[in-house]
Each structure stands twice: as structure tokens, then as C-alpha cells.
Amino acid sequence: MRSLRRTAFPLLVMATAACGPDAPRRGIVFDEPAPAGALALTRFTGEPFDIAALRDTVVLVYFGYTHCPDVCPTTLSDWAGARRALGDRADRVRFVFVTVDPLRDTKEVAHGYALQFDSSFVGLSGTPEEIKAIGEAWHFAAYPEGDTRSRDYSVAHPAYTYLVDRRGRLRVLYEPGVRGEDLAAEIREFL
């Protein structure tokens, strides 16, 4: 797994987050939730997607890429398990995959990748400039490792799932490996 774990953001999170008595047990919980970063892109259909428009909905966001050999497909598989475990409450949760590899992952590719895991998942891409701005808004860095001309390179990226509550605030960061049933149990706390 070549994900970014040594960026300034995880250190900041560790310094400002703690688990309170009512907090979910499997993630890094923000004691003082802050508004989630800006995330506005255009879907492959041409329709706009803006996380700010998703009030009253819990949103899980993951920044990865479709050529990822390990953590990205595993995380989205866990998401699919969480969605199934949520049952009829799943419609109150949005699962959003955003590529950090816009050179290879077009809007259509990102959308198709997300749909492989569940037909309700949203897959988004944008221009390199748009993806960089989103990274700045969400306080992470992502960059290619290797020669991008070869088309056979990896991308360092955050491995966290970000949970945004119904008021648009970043509440929890989940590291990879939280099983779907466990993730669903924690999502229910925010519905």
C-alpha cells in the first residue's frame, strides 16, 4: 500500500481529534467538527455534483484511484457491505469516490469504477487543477509515484474514508479495514 500516511493532515488530525464517550470506536473522531472541504465537480453525465448540496445526508468520501492495487478496491468493497448492512436506511447515505489520478481516470472511468461496487456509488473526476484544489480544501496531498508517461505508475494518496455528517461537517476519519457491518453500525449513529 503506497498511500500517504505521513502528510501534515494526519498529524493535524491526531493532534486535534479524540474519542469521546459517545464517539464511534473505529475511527478518528473530531471533537470540534469543522465544515467539510469544498467538493464540486461535474459528473460524467454533465450534471453538477456539490457536497454542499447534500445537507441532511451522511456522506462518505474516499480519495483514491482506479488502478490502485489494494486499499481502494478493499475500501469500496467494505462500503458496499456497509450499504447492504444499512438496509432501508442506506438511502440516507451517499458514498462518493473521487479519483486523485485525473490523467488516467476520466469522469467515465471513475464513475464506472464506483459502480462496480454498488450501483448507488458516485464516482467523480476532474481536471488536475480541480483535483489539486480539492486536495487543498480537504488538507491532503496526492501525487504520482513513477513516470506518468509510462501509464504504469502508482499514486500516493490518503487512505482514509471521510465521514461528513448531515450538517456538512467532517466528523470521523476511518482507516482502511473497517468491515462493512462495523462501518454501518457507526454510520447509524449519524443518521
pLDDT in tens, 124-157: 999 999 999 999 999 999 999 999 888 889 999 9
pLDDT (0 to 100) of residue 151: 81
Q: HSE of 69 in the Cβ direction (CA atoms, 13 Å)? A: 6
Task: Specify the 3-state DSSP secondary structure of 92.
Answer: helix
**pLDDT for the residue numbered 22:** 54
The grid coordinates of residue 186 equal 457507526
Is residue 38 within 8 A of residue 132, CB to CB? The reply is no
Between these two residues, 2 and 106, which has the higher pLDDT value? Answer: 106
- In this predicted structure, what is the pLDDT of residue 4? 41
Q: Specify the pLDDT at position 118.
A: 98
pTM score, two decimals? 0.87
Query: Mean pLDDT in the chain?
Result: 89
> Tens digits of per-residue pLDDT, 168-189?
999 999 999 999 999 999 999 9
Neighbours of 41 (CB within 10 A): 21
Distance CA 175, CA 84 (A): 20
Per-residue pLDDT tens for 57-95?
Answer: 999 999 999 999 999 999 999 999 999 999 999 999 999
Average pLDDT over residues 109-116: 98
Q: How many CB atoms lie within 10 A of CB 90?
A: 18
Q: What confidence category does residue 119 fall into, taking pLDDT thresholds of 50, 70 and 90?
A: very high
